[in-house]
């Protein structure tokens, strides 16, 4: 196990950790030293398949129900990420996990046999980004030597909780997204550690509500939160979109992504066209797989980061990425009560060490 996080050097001691209202700057950027991704059979046929570590043969993975399958995937991702980091569970000071099931049972049930202090968090599909931000804060602040961040979703479990059981064969509109069956986890340690990825900034978003009520069009509902967080991140860091190889969202899908591009260009004069991708859209081949507007669910951003992006940075293919996790904060109860959909977006900057 590495030694505790070092204190900032003299030149860093007076540097502000907070920029503006909501952006955190990590003085000794915590490193992401290991990642592990588990995906379902459909995701195992998509464009990201070669970067995933485990692909399920079916959606049950030897379990009697989909909720137990999701917990099993997340447990595997967390434990394998820790093992790949060369650590034991006793070396990890905190686990930050999240999922989409009621009371986050996917996470808490997964962690029943993992010997790591656990904090469950929920902000829907913004959960993995917020977990990375919290882990980096704990590590950079000296409150943890190592943290593991994990997130999961399962298409069939999410569908019957938020909409209708898949057995009913309900027709989905073109704006609907396909919840990713997947789980991803990464290990975050002190800035003196060696790793292909580091977390340099985090911008925390505010809850927004544009009055939209359609649970089959969450991509459109989440656009304002994603745009606001991106604009504030750029303002508070003094950076430009051109400073990033990618602006990744998770998960607006194809419909929300197109709206975001137009929204930023028309309202803020910011052009992300050609520099933006969405984790949900990246998980599937729209020409071959019937996912309508693309993917959604925590498994999308978790698997893209812990599977694809971690490996891509390790190979020097990508240098700096802004991941904006977007979360739709409604529930079946609030939908049936006629409430609109509140949303939130949190962003983290992921860089290869030494990036200028």
10 lies in a domain?
A: no
Angle between helices 66-84 and 155-162 (to 10 degrees): 130
The strand ranges marked E within the chain are 18-19, 23-25, 31-39, 54-55, 94-98, 118-120, 146-153, 178-179, 182-189, 197-203, 246-250, 276-278, 295-296, 320-328, 343-351
Same structural domain for residues 30 and 148? yes
> Does 167 share its domain with 226?
no
Burial of 347 (0-12, 13-18, 19+ CB in 10 A): buried
pLDDT at 212 over 70: yes
Residues 146 and 256 in one domain: no
Confidence band (pLDDT; 50, 70, 90) for 173? Answer: low
Report yes or no on 274 lying in a domain: yes
Whether residue 206 is found in the same domain as residue 267: yes
Nearest Cα residue to 306 out of 12, 19, 14, 52: 52
Any idea which of 134-138, 158-162, 239-243, 345-349 has the lowest mean pLDDT? Answer: 158-162
Residue 301 placed within a domain: yes
Q: Do 161 and 291 share a structural domain?
A: no
Q: What is the mean pLDDT of residues 16-39?
A: 95
Rounded to an integer, the average pLDDT of 244-253 is 95
Does residue 324 sit within a domain?
yes
pLDDT exceeds 50 at position 11: no
Q: Domain for residue 11, yes or no?
A: no
Instruction: Decide which of 127, 159, 189 is a domain's last residue.
Output: 189
What is the count of structural domains for the chain?
Answer: 2
Instruction: Give residue-wise pLDDT tens across range 307-341.
Output: 999 999 999 999 999 999 999 999 989 988 999 99
The pTM of this model reads 0.93
Average pLDDT value for residue range 59-83? 97
Among residues 140, 162, 189, the one where a domain terminates is 189
Same structural domain, 158 and 205:
no
Query: Is the per-residue pLDDT at 108 higher than 70?
Result: yes
Q: Which two tokens stand for residue 289?
A: 């797989």
pLDDT number for residue 268: 97
- Cα 331 off chain centre by: 20
* One domain, residues 211 and 166: no
- On the question of pLDDT at 154 being above 50, the answer is yes
Q: How many CB atoms lie within 10 A of CB 252?
A: 32
pLDDT of amino acid 167: 63
Task: Report pLDDT for 158.
Answer: 86
Q: Is the domain of 265 the same as that of 333?
A: yes
Give yes or no: residues 143 and 267 share one domain.
Answer: no
61 and 94 together in one domain: yes
Lowest-pLDDT choice from 240-244, 270-274, 291-295: 291-295
Asked whether residue 162 falls in the same domain as residue 204, the answer is no
Residue 299 in this model has a pLDDT that exceeds 80: yes
Q: Which of 189, 222, 248 is the last residue of a domain?
A: 189
The answer to whether residue 5 is domain-embedded is: no
Q: Look up residue 44 and give its two tokens.
A: 């195992």
Does 4 reside within a domain? no
- pLDDT at 346 > cutoff 80: yes
Structural domain boundaries enclosing 290: 196-351
Q: Are residues 286 and 224 in the same domain?
A: yes
Tell me the percentage of the chain whose pLDDT exceeds 70: 92
Alpha helices in 247-356 (DSSP H): 253-268, 279-282, 298-303, 310-314, 332-336
- What pLDDT is recorded for position 335? 86
Which CATH number goes with the domain that contains 119?
Answer: 3.40.47.40
Residue 347 lies in a domain: yes
With beta carbons less than 8 A apart as the criterion, state whether 132 and 301 touch: no
pLDDT number for residue 3: 41
Mean pLDDT of 274-282: 95
Of 229-238, 281-290, 345-354, minimum mean pLDDT range: 281-290
* 37-48: average pLDDT: 97
The answer, yes or no, to whether residue 190 has pLDDT greater than 70, is yes
pLDDT-based confidence at residue 2 (cuts at 50, 70, 90)? very low
């Amino acid at each position: 196990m590495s030694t505790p996080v070092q204190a900032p050097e003299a030149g860093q001691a007076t540097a502000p950790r907070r920029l503006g209202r909501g952006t955190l700057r990590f003085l000794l950027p915590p490193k992401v030293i290991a990642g592990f991704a588990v995906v379902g059979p459909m995701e195992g046929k998509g464009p990201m398949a070669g970067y995933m570590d485990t692909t399920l043969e079916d959606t049950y993975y030897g379990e009697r129900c989909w909720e137990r399958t999701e917990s099993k995937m997340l447990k595997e991702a967390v434990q394998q990420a820790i093992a790949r980091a060369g650590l034991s569970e006793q070396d990890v000071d905190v686990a930050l996990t999240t999922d989409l099931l009621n009371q986050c049972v996917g996470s808490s049930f997964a962690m029943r046999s993992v010997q790591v202090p656990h904090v469950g968090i929920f902000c829907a599909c913004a959960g993995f980004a917020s977990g990375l931000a919290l882990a980096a804060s704990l590590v950079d602040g000296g409150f943890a030597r190592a943290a593991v961040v994990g997130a999961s979703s399962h298409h069939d479990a999410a569908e019957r909780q938020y909409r209708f059981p898949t057995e009913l064969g309900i027709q989905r509109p073109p704006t609907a997204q396909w919840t990713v069956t997947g789980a991803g986890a990464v290990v975050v340690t002190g800035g003196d550690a060696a790793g292909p990825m580091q977390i340099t900034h985090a911008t925390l978003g505010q809850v927004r509500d544009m009055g939209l009520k359609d649970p089959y069009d969450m991509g459109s509902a989440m656009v304002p939160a994603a745009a606001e967080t991106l604009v504030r991140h750029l303002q508070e860091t003094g950076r430009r979109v051109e400073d990033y190889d990618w602006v990744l969202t998770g998960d607006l899908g194809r419909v929300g992504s197109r709206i975001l591009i137009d929204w930023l260009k028309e309202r803020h004069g910011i052009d992300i066209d050609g520099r933006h991708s969405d984790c949900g859209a990246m998980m599937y081949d729209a020409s071959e797989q019937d996912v309508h507007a693309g993917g959604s669910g925590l498994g999308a951003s978790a698997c893209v980061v812990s599977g694809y992006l971690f490996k891509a940075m390790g190979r020097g293919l990508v240098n700096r990425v802004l991941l904006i996790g977007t979360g739709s904060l409604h529930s079946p109860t609030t939908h049936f009560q006629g409430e609109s959909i509140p949303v939130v977006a949190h962003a983290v900057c992921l860089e290869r060490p030494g990036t200028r």
